[in-house]
Structure 1
Amino acid sequence: MTDSALIRRSPVPPGDCNLAKSFALIGDRWSLMILRSALYGLRRFDDFQTELEIPRTVLSSRLAGLVESGIMERRDYREDGQRTRVEYPLTKMGQALSLPFIAMTEWGDRWLGDGHSPLTLRSKASGERLRVALVDEAGKAVRPADIDTVITTRPGGRKT
C-alpha cells in the first residue's frame, strides 16, 4: 500500500468551503444530537430533553440557533385542556440532512458498531437493503477510485 502525496493546504480555503460552513452551523455535539432525534420524528422540547438528558438551558439555546439558521421552525401547538406550548419541526432544509445523517450511520455501523446495526433501511419496492453511494447524473453508482475532484472557479477568478 502506498501513501498518498503530502498535501500542505486544502484545495478549498475553509472560509469558502460549504462543508466547513455546515460544520460551523450544526457541528456541536448537542445540535447534532437534537437533529438526530428530530430526524426520527421528535418535535417537542420535553421529548428532546427527556431523550437526550440535555440541560434545559442548553437545549433552549441550541433550538433557538437551529430555528435562526432555518433548519427548524418554532410552531405553537395546544392539546385539549392544556396551555399553548411550542414544538420544533424540521424545515425542508433540516429534512435534507437525512442523507448525510444516514451516511454517518452507515459509517458508524462499519467502524464503531459491534456488527449489529439497530437500523436497517430497505427499498419498499424490492425489499433490498439500501446503502449510501455516490451516483452520476444517470443514476449509476460510481466507485471511489473513479471519482475525480474538480475545483471550480467563482465569478471573479477565486477558486472554490
Structure 2
Amino acid sequence: MTSRERVLEHITKNPGITFRKLAQELEMGIGNLQYHLRHLERENKIVAKKLGGRKYIFPADFSESYKPLMIAISNESQRKILILLAEDEKNQHELAEKLNLTPSTINYHMERLEALGLVRKIKHGKNVIYQPNYDKDVLIRIIREYKPKIWDRLADKLIDLTLTFRGEEYD
C-alpha cells in the first residue's frame, strides 16, 4: 500500500481527524503529509474544513450534515456538552458544574458549538439557556460508528455507575 493510500484509508476510518492527529497517528512528516493531502484534494478524494485554527479532514463522500458533529465530538469537552444537552437544555452554570469547568471555558466551547450550528442560545433576562440543535439519535450513532473508543469509555462509565449504585465494584 502506498503512503497516499494509507493516508486516504486512515481518513476514511477516522472522518473529521485533524491534520496534526493524522500526522501523529500515521507517524508521517508534516511536509510529506501535506504533499499527499494536496494530491488527494485535487483528486476530489478528501475535503478539509477549517475551524478555529484547526483543519479537519473528511472523505469527499462523507455526509455534509454529519461534519459539524464529527468536528465537535473530536473535542472531549464539547462531546460531553453535547451529551448533556441531549438529556435536556441547560444553562452555562449547570454545564460548568456538571463538567467541573469554569464558566469562561463553557462559554468558549458554546461559541464553537454555536458556530457549528449545533446549539441555540436563548436569553431569559440575564440567564442564557442552551438547547441542542441536532438529532440526538444521530449523535449517538456517530459516536458509536466513528468513535468506538469513546463509545467503549462511555459504556465502561455506565457499567461503573450502575455497579456503584448497587454497591458493587467492577474491575
Q: Supply the AA of the counterpart residue of 1:51.
A: K
> Which aligned pairs between 1:121-132 and structure 2 lie closer than 5 A?
none
SS at match of 1:74: strand
Determine which structure has the larger strand proportion and give its number: 2
> For 1:107, which of 152, 163, 171 is the aligned residue?
152
> Which aligned pairs between 1:9-28 and structure 2 lie closer than 5 A?
9-11=7-9, 12-13=45-46, 15=48, 16-17=58-59, 18=62, 21-22=67-68, 23-28=70-75
Once the two structures are superposed, what CA deviation does each residue of 1:14-36 show, in whole Å capped at 9, x if it has no partner? 63424894543442121111111
Give the superposed CA RMSD: 3.5
Name the larger-Rg structure. Answer: 1
Once the two structures are superposed, what CA deviation does each residue of 1:20-77 show, in whole Å capped at 9, x if it has no partner? 9454344212111111111122421111011001122111011011112110001122
Change beyond 3 A, Cα 1:25–1:116: closer
**Structure 1: which 5+ residue stretches go unaligned?**
78-82, 120-160
Change beyond 3 A, Cα 1:24–1:100: closer
SS at match of 1:88: strand
Is residue 47 of structure 1 aligned with residue 94 of structure 2?
A: yes
> For 2:159, which of 116, 125, 143 is the aligned residue?
116
Once the two structures are superposed, what CA deviation does each residue of 1:59-116 show, in whole Å capped at 9, x if it has no partner? 1011011112110001122xxxxx4411000013566423334665753366xx2893
Determine which structure has the larger helix proportion and give its number: 2
SS at match of 1:67: helix
Number of matched pairs: 108
Contact kept, 8 Å, 1:36 with 1:101, in 2: the verdict is no
Instruction: Please give the TM-score of this superposition, normalised by the length of structure 2.
Output: 0.48
Change beyond 3 A, Cα 1:92–1:25: closer
Taking the aligned partners of 2:122 and 2:47, their CA distance within structure 1 comes to 34
SS at match of 1:70: coil
Taking the aligned partners of 2:74 and 2:161, their CA distance within structure 1 comes to 24
Taking the aligned partners of 2:89 and 2:108, their CA distance within structure 1 comes to 17
Contact kept, 8 Å, 1:49 with 1:56, in 2: the verdict is yes
Contact kept, 8 Å, 2:120 with 2:133, in 1: the verdict is yes
Structure 1 runs (4+) greater than 2 angstroms displaced: 5-9, 11-26, 92-96, 98-110, 113-119
